[in-house]
Amino acid sequence: MMDVRNSPNRLLIADTDADTRRIAGDFAAAHGYTIAYAADEAQFRDLVGRFAPTVILIDPLGLAPQDFDALRWLGLRRGGSTLIVVTAQDPCPLAPEEIHMAYGLEVAMAEAKPLSRSMLEAVLLPQLIRSRQLCETDLRRAVDRAQLCAHYQPKLRRAAQGWELAGIEALLRWNHPEHGLVYPDDFIELAESHGLIGALTDYVLQDGIDQIAAWNQRGHRLGLSVNLSAKLLTDVDFADRMCDFLFSRGVAPDQLTLEITESAAFGDPPSTLEILSRLRARGIGLALDDFGIGYSSLTQLYKLPFSEVKIDKTIGMELAQTPAARMIVRAIVDLGHHLGLSVCCEGVESKTSLDVLHQCGCDQVQGYYIARPMAADDLGQWVPERPEDRPAAYAAVG
Ligand code: C2E
Ligand code: MG
Ligand code: MG
């Protein structure tokens, strides 16, 4: 498939019905979308990966008549496509909010067929504008005009009787003047390819370290995890500059963990190794993020000086219902411990998953069941003065 990622508007039409494919395809092509068609579930899964659609128009019951398998599968992927759900069943059996709650997907519309021109206009044109406007110039402006903000997700660590607050992970958000809160999956790649990722990371590091410094002053020693693009691992003095900055804020190096997603960008192993080793030598933690999917490989775990491995959220989200996911997690926990690493599992969405993770010795957990990422001002409820003030979610397992 040629250069599809250069086209900002990629629509995947996944429907067994040829008329729907034609009507939606003709309309969308006339308005500037690049289109791919899937007539069955196998083609759909293949194209979600290769075509990386920004918008998916789908009849989930047409593709897999027995249930909502296609939506479930999509929800488990790290994606970010906006969904338009259309069904032959009238009325459409699911509302957009229900699909969002059940599968974590962004849904612009869920309606019964047939597709009308006004329906397509109402739902496809706003999406088109949105993707067009997330451009480099806008992102540059966002840095200058302070449209960035960091949200924080609590990370719990295993305690004898349950879990206790270990720290927070900073997750970048872009407060777009027209489109509201934009999530990193929609702009990190753009930032990386236009040399803006350094500025974004500086922002998150500063904001996060300031938060931790303020908690230090109130007597709460929390850890901070910040995501670092592998593209930034080119400056051998990074570790020294990082430490100077931490000391200037009264934060110890071992309060900071940098999370790196292994990627093709781990291009130059000698310098990557040197930079990571310097960070570890100064006490800064290093986590291999999103382990278990994509590019992650076992060898990186011992060839690079990681202190933590984070099991990808798609595995964590499957824990409650899939025995195989439990076995994989157990195996990673054992492997991590044998290599001297702390193991964190992301995507904890239920009490069952949390209990499974406690039983199998997982060291840290993170997920919507515990808390969603939140604005810094809301963190107060997570760092209570007295243990009995702990919020219900972690008191329940404590
Ligand atoms: P990540 O570092 O693996 O962060 C976890 C992502 O999973 C976050 O998405 C978080 O909101 C989401 N999440 C947490 N718990 C659950 C759960 O229980 N269920 C589900 N379905 N999702 C959960 P978010 O904030 O959209 O970030 C996506 C990715 O963007 C991050 O994945 C990270 O790789 C990247 N990112 C975020 N902030 C930055 C940054 O400052 N710099 C760089 N380079 N990348 C960043
Ligand atoms: Mg992370
Ligand atoms: Mg992750």
CA proximity to 147, closest of 107, 191, 104, 105: 191
Ligand 2 is an ion; residues with CB less than 5 A from it: 227, 259, 289
C-alpha–C-alpha distance, residues 235 and 77, integer Å: 32
Cβ 86 vs Cβ 57: under 8 Å: yes
- Quote the strand ranges of the chain, DSSP E: 10-14, 34-38, 55-58, 82-87, 106-112, 148-159, 162-176, 180-182, 223-228, 256-261, 285-291, 308-311, 342-345, 364-365, 374-375
Cis peptide before 114 (omega within 30 of 0): yes
Among the residue ranges 5-9, 79-83, 262-266, 350-354, the one predicted with the least confidence is: 262-266
Task: Give first-to-last CA distance, the chain, whole Å.
Answer: 51
For the chain, how many helices (H) and strands (E)? 16, 15
Cβ–ligand 1 contact at 155 (below 6 Å) = no
Pocket test for ligand 1, best of 183, 308, 317, 346 (most atoms within 8 A of CB): 346
Mean of per-residue pLDDT scores for the chain: 88
What pLDDT, in 10s, does the model give residues 129-181?
555 467 888 899 898 888 999 999 999 999 988 999 999 999 999 988 777 77
Cβ–ligand 1 contact at 370 (below 6 Å) = no
pLDDT greater than 60 at residue 387 = no
Ligand 1 atom at shortest distance from the alpha carbon of 228: 44
Residues 329-333 have a mean pLDDT of: 97
Cβ–ligand 1 contact at 128 (below 6 Å) = no
Model confidence band, residue 394 (pLDDT cutoffs 50, 70, 90): low
Ligand 2 centre to CA of 345 (Å) is: 11
Tokens matching residue 149: 């903000």
The alpha carbons of the chain give a radius of gyration, in whole angstroms, of 22
Supply the residue whose CA is at minimum distance from atom 14 of ligand 1: 367
Residues 228-244 have a mean pLDDT of: 90
* Topology at the third CATH level for domain 136-393: TIM Barrel (3.20.20)
Q: Return the pLDDT at 233.
A: 86
CA proximity to 270, closest of 303, 302, 308, 243: 303
3-state helix, strand, coil split of the chain in percent (to 5) is 45, 20, 30
pLDDT greater than 80 at residue 262 = no
Ligand 2 centre to CA of 341 (Å) is: 16
C-alpha–C-alpha distance, residues 41 and 44, integer Å: 5
The tally of CA atoms less than 13 A away on the side-chain side of residue 311 is 32
Cβ 96 vs Cβ 107: under 8 Å: yes
What pLDDT, in 10s, does the model give residues 80-104?
789 999 999 899 988 898 888 888 8
Query: DSSP letters of 103-135?
Result: H--EEEEEEESPP-HHHHHHHHHHHHHHHHH--
Model confidence band, residue 244 (pLDDT cutoffs 50, 70, 90): very high
Residues 48-60 have a mean pLDDT of: 91
Model confidence band, residue 258 (pLDDT cutoffs 50, 70, 90): very high
What's the one-letter identity of residue 205? L
Superfamily of domain 4-130: Response regulator (3.40.50.2300)
Pocket test for ligand 1, best of 76, 148, 171, 310 (most atoms within 8 A of CB): 171
- Sign, Cα dihedral of 248, 243, 296, 44: positive
Cβ neighbours of 375 (radius 10 Å) = 11
Question: Which-ligand-closest: CA of 293?
Answer: 3
What pLDDT, in 10s, does the model give residues 34-53?
999 999 998 998 899 888 89
Q: Is 129 exposed, middle or buried (0-12, 13-18, 19+ CB in 10 A)?
A: exposed
- Percent pLDDT > 90 in the chain is 57
Specify the DSSP element, H or E, that contains 78.
none
- Sign, Cα dihedral of 230, 232, 234, 236: negative
Ligand 1 atom at shortest distance from the alpha carbon of 197: 44
Q: Domain coordinates of the chain in residue numbers?
A: 4-130, 136-393
Supply the residue whose CA is at minimum distance from atom 37 of ligand 1: 171
Supply the residue whose CA is at minimum distance from atom 10 of ligand 1: 373
Ligand 2 centre to CA of 118 (Å) is: 41
CA proximity to 292, closest of 325, 266, 269, 250: 325
pLDDT greater than 70 at residue 27 = yes
C-alpha–C-alpha distance, residues 51 and 66, integer Å: 26
Q: Return the pLDDT at 390.
A: 54
Cβ–ligand 1 contact at 190 (below 6 Å) = no
pTM for the whole structure: 0.73
